[in-house]
Structure 1
Amino acid sequence: MINKLFLILVGVGVPLSVAGTLLHWPSVLMFVIYCLTIIALASFMGRATESLAIVLGPRIGGLLNATFGNAVELIISIYSLKAGLIGVVLASLTGSVLGNLLLVAGLSFFIGGTKYKRQTFNVFDARHNAGLLIFAIVVAFVIPEVFSVNMNEQATMSLSIGISVVLILLYLAALFFKLVTHRGVYQPTERLADQNHEEEVPEWSKKTAILVLAAATVAVAYVSEHLVHTFSEVGESFGWSELFIGVIIVAIVGNAAEHASALVMAYKNKMDITVEIAVGSTLQIAMFVAPVLVLISLLFSTSMPLVFTLPELIAMVTAVLLMISISNDGETNWFEGLTLLAAYVIMGIGFYLL
């Protein structure tokens, strides 16, 4: 039923997006159409990556889901950079971190916990990710903010470029560690002993899934370019600040693919994939997407330093510490999910009132 609804939304939304753009329909109306179309397209990306996850395994499947989910975010951010909306880009990166760690993980843990009393995932992956989260958010994002106080713009940008290169190199090293040198090394003994796995059949073949991913990504790129141009008028109409649009609206729309997939996987008790999507996507945003955007911004008239506002930094650091304290034991339940959701709501209210 839901899949049919998303199919209808894509079938109607894509033509309306094209028609509305050519005929210059009102910005608020087009903002709604663009957002719904991107969410519907993201659902197809999520289903395609779920099919690939069954074929390729949870780690690679989760990585693919995070990558293609973040592709939407990356595309929207590049067009925002081109338009000079640096504040929106930084806010959307903050929103992605908060959305993945608190909203996606929180909803997944809550929904999965209402069906299962106790859900477990790979504790070794959780501890490995905890170290990377602290490095990426607490170290790499806080350092530019602290040092930039006594630096001019050029020095701050140079520092941002240096940190961005280090982040990208460490992210690639982390992928090499997880997928090549230490693949399958850290497995819980109870997971190895469990032989009661049911064979799952992917919804689409490998070739079809890749084609769907490619087509959806192209469509999202087109819609996202025009979505960016509606931000100013929509903000004025609803009284939304640039910060709120980036942290809440763009982040939720841009990460819709991961949101949907993580919830489905949690309901099916596939918590390794759920955690890989939520935390893996956060790490990819912090260690790859953000630094890549810093480097890409050098091509435009206004470059983007890796310097967040104090509320953004405190919110991200708090989210990281809360997620680590909840996930470090390798198991979760509905109440822990509700705790993460409560933190997201509190931060959402704060950013709205700013």
Structure 2
Amino acid sequence: MNKLFTFLVLIGLPLSIIGSIFHWSAVIMFIVYCLTIIALAGFIGRATESLAIVLGPRAGGLLNATFGNAVELIISIFSLKAGFIGIVLASLTGSVLGNLLLVGGLSFFVGGLKYKRQSFNIYEARHNAGLLMFAVIVAFVIPEVFTHTMSEQDTMVLSVGISIVLILLYLAALLFKFVTHRGVYQADNTQGEAAHAEEPEWGKMKAIVILAIATVAVAYVSEHLVSTFDVVGATFGWSELFIGVIIVAIVGNAAEHASAVIMAYKNKMDVAVEIAVGSTLQVAMFVLPILVLLSLLFPTSMPLVFTWPELISMVTAVLLMITLSNDGDSNWFDGLVLISAYIIMGIGFYFI
């Protein structure tokens, strides 16, 4: 897999540059851009995995989620600039669904095929459950209920207020987890010990340099990827909702997808769950609010208002993940349930 990612980067980056200069077919370039971003995300995942071994499962999972979401944040910023508000909101919906159902499901499924039963920190699971309920059900559903009686300006003011609250609560959650209550809710430390015993693929400085270069390359390719959305949507009959929920979300979260499944296969479920659930929380409580605030700088502002299919899908994904993970235990059948839910929702979004 690493050799494949290296090959795709060595081929994809030059083709991305040449194709954008000579204006090759938008459909062909869409495929090239997507494959290149996925390959670059693989390097981001490998670099963050190396740093995770040094920093431990909790910090490593957060780091992996952060740099994984950096890809999606970059794509979303360029989409905002181009006026694709629907695609940005849909991609963030897809990120929530993808992380909880696809990444979480594949992690439980692949890990469960090798180990009959896998455990992770039950206290972390319960803490994350409360935050997921707040971020998706309270902060996303409530605005949709109130905005029916509001003007566009009032809706935007409400969206900005909610975004600020979400960012502050997310920062408070990090303070709680890494400072005030660090080590208080400790379950089984064997995974952490195993991580420290494992040798990282790259040294700290090399990993940081690769992270920086890969992120810059992703920014360049993402800007050109956004320019192909109109043509690709018209060619394949894809709606903005489907492009955002499925295509952009999968491409933008490729690093997390690979890393979480690899961690689960190695029986490092604390890291796998932190990537899947922690990434969802970061998208809902930090990335999305940041995009709402940044949209004020562009001609078209983005209110924190989703469609009902998006809201119902996200609420369902949250409740399903909480139900299956709240006991701190997983198996392959739990993973299959999550993957099945993702497939059903994907079919539904395709036909909207």
TM-score w.r.t. the length of structure 1 is 0.98
Deviation for aligned residue 1:197: 3.5
Q: What residue is the counterpart of 1:50 in the other structure?
A: 49
Q: What residue is the counterpart of 2:34 in the other structure?
A: 35
Cα distance change on mapping 1:195 and 1:14 into 2, 3 Å: closer
Deviation for aligned residue 1:192: 4.4
* Identity between Structure 1 and Structure 2 (%): 75
Find the partner of 1:318 among 286, 301, 316: 316
- 1:1-354 pair list within 5 angstroms: 2-188=1-187, 191-192=188-189, 197=194, 199-354=197-352
Deviation for aligned residue 1:187: 1.1
Give the whole-Å Cα distance in 2 for the aligned partners of 1:144 and 1:73.
24
Q: For residues 230-253 of structure 1, what are the alpha-carbon distances to aligned partners after superposition, in whole Å with 9 as ceiling and x for unaligned?
A: 001000111100100000000000
Give the whole-Å Cα distance in 1 for the aligned partners of 2:103 and 2:249.
11
Q: For residues 144-167 of structure 1, what are the alpha-carbon distances to aligned partners after superposition, in whole Å with 9 as ceiling and x for unaligned?
A: 100000000000000000000000
**RMSD of aligned Cα (Å):** 1.1
TM-score w.r.t. the length of structure 2 is 0.98
Cα distance change on mapping 1:5 and 1:192 into 2, 3 Å: closer
Q: For residues 137-191 of structure 1, what are the alpha-carbon distances to aligned partners after superposition, in whole Å with 9 as ceiling and x for unaligned?
A: 0000011100000000000000000000000000000001101111111012xx1
Give the whole-Å Cα distance in 1 for the aligned partners of 2:316 and 2:3.
39
Deviation for aligned residue 1:276: 0.3
Q: For residues 85-127 of structure 1, what are the alpha-carbon distances to aligned partners after superposition, in whole Å with 9 as ceiling and x for unaligned?
A: 0000000000000000000000110000000000000000000
Amino acid at match of 1:345: I
Where does the alignment leave 5 or more consecutive residues of structure 1 unmatched?
Answer: none
Amino acid at match of 1:76: I
Deviation for aligned residue 1:196: 7.5
Give the whole-Å Cα distance in 2 for the aligned partners of 1:226 and 1:210.
25
Amino acid at match of 1:57: G
Give the whole-Å Cα distance in 1 for the aligned partners of 2:204 and 2:60.
12
Give the whole-Å Cα distance in 2 for the aligned partners of 1:194 and 1:90.
36
Aligned length: 351
Cα distance change on mapping 1:14 and 1:324 into 2, 3 Å: same
Cα distance change on mapping 1:342 and 1:27 into 2, 3 Å: same
